[in-house]
Structure 1
Amino acid sequence: MRWWKIIGLAGAAGVAATGVAIARAERRRRAYTPEEIRVRLRERIESQPEGRRS
């Protein structure tokens, strides 16, 4: 094989791996119910110091 074929195959594998990671993160994000998201956001706001809240 020529070096450019190896680089091309490595690039294609990298693109495929990135797509898999994005799809997995999207599935994880969509798994939360709206109420769970509200609770998590409230917890995050409460854990911030008073000066950083807006």
Structure 2
Amino acid sequence: MTASLEKFAPEVDFPIDPGIRYAVLVLRAGGIETFESCEGGPGHASPDPTIRFHG
């Protein structure tokens, strides 16, 4: 199913963290514009997965 969601991937110069990519693409497919995401964990800005969106 992820392959069919790839058309909703944002065109950016940096990759979406693999652990949060599916959730970001599902939100974008539903018309929700995301502007920040992180899968969380050691070495990341947050210990928990985070997705920020407008609205």
**TM-score after normalising by structure 1:** 0.27
Structure whose residues are more often strand by fraction: 2
Structure number with the bigger relative contact order (C-alpha 8 A, sep ≥ 6) is 2
Normalised by the length of structure 2, the TM-score is: 0.27
- Of structures 1 and 2, the larger Rg is shown by 1
